[in-house]
Chain A
Amino acid sequence: MSTNVQAQTQSIFDELAARQTWRFKHIVYIALIGAFLAWCADGVNLRPREVFNAVPIIADYFGRMWPPKWGFVEAIWKPSIETIYVALWGNVIATIVGLPLGILAASTVTQSRILRGGAMGILNVFRSISELIWAILFVAAVGLGPFPGALALGMNYGGILGRLYAEAIENVDKGPIEAMEATGASKLQVIMFAILPQAMPQFVTYNLYWFEVGVRSATVLGMVGAGGIGFELITSIRLFEWREVGVILLFILGMVTIIDMTSTYIRGRLY
């Protein structure tokens, strides 16, 4: 009996000791992470003093944007709309690129591992190259202007959307697919009648969301000459015309807000 109690106490002590070392391990981890973060901060010149100094300077720069130079609206009206067109066509191209690849990459549709892996590989490459790099490439190919911007968004977001499409397809209810196969429908018919109708709301949701994101990125494509408001923005900043910058930022904000609201409305009516 007593040996039993002793053994139990001993085991509790052991556990406490184990916990102690566990705590010790955690302290070591935290110290290591702290050191790592400090090293990172040092690498990017981030020091508390600098951050404190930066705050008033940045506030000052945003202050210079006020009051906005409203007359500038005339000059940026057109490029703003162009930004939306770029995003729109980017979205269309992304769907054209992403949909077939996404269908091929879905395990429920494509049996062949090679085909599936190939489609997924292409999607990953498209996804991993940012729209700005695509834009540089397309500007080299078709010259300056909004068109290469749309192509660039199309490739990058095609990769992103394709992967999301594939996931959506894999997650649809399998029952109707089986029922359709049982009627003797062909593969393509199963896709058209059982898979796409079920996955459609998901697809539209993704497209709307990435359209919003596309509008935001399209505002900077102009920096590499790929159309939209980015060109005006970079010019105004280079010329230190802060009150013009203020107008542009307000414009972007307004545009994004309107699109945000519209797409929330559409999404609400989907299912």
Chain B
Amino acid sequence: MLMPGSTQSAPTILSVRGLSKSYSGTIHALRGIDIEVKEGEFLVILGPSGAGKSTLMRCINRLVEPTDGKILHNDVEMTGKRRNLRAVRRQFGMVFQQFNLVKRLSVLTNVLTGRLAYRSTWRSLFYNFSKEDKRIAIECLARVNMDHKAFQRADTLSGGEQQRVAIARALAQQPTIILADEPVASLDPKIARQVLTYLKQVTQELGITVLCNLHQVEYTREFAERIIGMSRGKVVFEGTAADLTDEILHRIYYRDPDEQDDKDHS
């Protein structure tokens, strides 16, 4: 694990300023989030169910439009313009809780979809990829040790394997940042550790920044270089695993009686 100090000096790659999002004007999922993400760090966002973690990720990737606030990527503002949406999105790889692979396509084709944003729509109509794209995709699969299953259908894989393929798909985008939204929430503890290890190791090798949502404290302590605690749409904590005291956990999880949830006792 890296020393906490080593990321301190790294430049900021992403900064979120005063980000708010309300669904249909009544549900306030995010209420003024401020986050600075350093280049190359493994940042975990910890929070109970409903804290707004997924919404934050979706705002960064522009899958949902924030109601208010700014997101700067390498000091370039990204909110607002819809014109170069494809170019913006391909800089952010995304990994989902439910893997979201296309089950009937092969593992390799699934990873190749990570290359779509780099290619013209018309070429990809015929499921035709360049040799270069295939090499990138296979390399990404090899990094998560899934190259031996490249030609199987995605639905023949176990959950952990599917998530590794999903990580490979995100890597194939050659992103600067990977957004992982509860990547291990539907995996058993052993496989969950394995997947997180892959995610951390590979991104460190490639110098990719990771923003990872988790709701399990254990994994957070184990993998996070820096932690941001979220509760009810607000940042309530910022620090390292060492700073994560019981008192702070209580603040994140049990602040409101109605925030208690069956999800967070892992």
A and B touch in the complex (CB under 8 A): yes
In contact, A200 and B104 (Cβ under 8 angstroms): yes
The reply to whether the CB of A178 lies closer than 8 angstroms to some CB of chain B is yes
**A45 close to chain B: CB less than 8 A:** no
- Contact between A186 and B86, CB atoms less than 8 A apart: yes
Answer yes or no: B146 CB below 8 A from chain A CBs.
Answer: no
Q: A198 near B116 (CB under 8 angstroms)?
A: no
Q: Is the interface of A mostly helix, strand, loop or mixed?
A: helix
Q: Which residues of B contact A183 (CB under 8 A)?
A: 89-90, 93-94, 113-114, 116-117, 169-170, 173
> Which B residues are CB-close (under 8 A) to A176?
100-103
Is there contact, CB below 8 Å, between A192 and B169?
no
| A188 CB–B CB distance under 8 Å | yes
B residues adjacent to A (C-beta < 8 A): 61, 63, 85-90, 92-94, 96, 98-105, 109, 113-114, 116-117, 121, 124-125, 127, 166, 169-170, 173
Which A-chain residue is minimally distant from B102 (CB atoms)?
A176
Name the residue on A nearest B118 (C-beta).
Answer: A184
A188 touches B125 (CB 8 A): yes
In the complex, the answer to whether B63 meets A197 with C-beta atoms within 8 Å is: no
- Do residues A182 and B125 form an inter-chain contact, with CB atoms below 8 A? no
Q: Which residues of B contact A175 (CB under 8 A)?
A: 96, 98-100
B101 touches A189 (CB 8 A): no
Q: Which residues of B contact A182 (CB under 8 A)?
A: 61, 63, 89, 92, 94
A193→B114 contact, CB < 8 A: no
Contact A184 B173 (CB under 8 A): yes
Report 30 cross-chain contacts, Cβ distance below 8 Å, ordered by A residue.
A176-B100, A178-B100, A179-B96, A179-B101, A179-B166, A180-B113, A181-B89, A182-B61, A182-B89, A183-B93, A183-B114, A184-B88, A184-B90, A184-B116, A184-B117, A184-B173, A185-B86, A185-B113, A185-B116, A185-B117, A186-B86, A186-B116, A186-B121, A188-B125, A193-B113, A193-B116, A194-B102, A197-B102, A197-B104, A198-B103
- Report the bound CA distance from A173 to B63 in whole Å: 17
Tell me how far the C-beta of A207 lies from the nearest C-beta in chain B, rounded to whole angstroms. Answer: 17
Distance in angstroms between the alpha carbons of A118 and B109 in the assembled complex: 34
The size class of the interface chain A forms with chain B is: 20 to 34
Cα distance A194–B154 when bound, in Å?
13
B84: nearest chain-A partner, CB-CB: A184
Asked whether B116 lies within 8 Å of A179 as measured between CB atoms, the reply is no
Q: 10 nearest interchain CB pairs? A: A184-B117, A184-B90, A184-B89, A175-B100, A179-B100, A185-B116, A182-B94, A184-B86, A176-B102, A186-B121
**A contact residues vs B (CB 8 Å cutoff):** 173, 175-176, 178-186, 188-189, 192-194, 197-198, 200-201
Chain A residue nearest to B89 in the complex (CB): A184
Bound CA span A194–B105, Å: 9
Q: Report the minimum CB–CB distance from A100 to chain B (whole Å).
A: 14
Min CB gap A201→B, angstroms? 8
Of B89, B92, B99, B116, the most chain A CB neighbours within 10 A belong to B116
Cβ–Cβ contact A184 & B85, under 8 A: yes
Considering the chains assembled together, what is the distance between the CA atoms of A195 and B27 in angstroms?
A: 30
Complex Cα–Cα for A176 and B22 (A): 25
Distance from A97 Cβ to chain B, minimum over Cβ atoms (Å) = 20
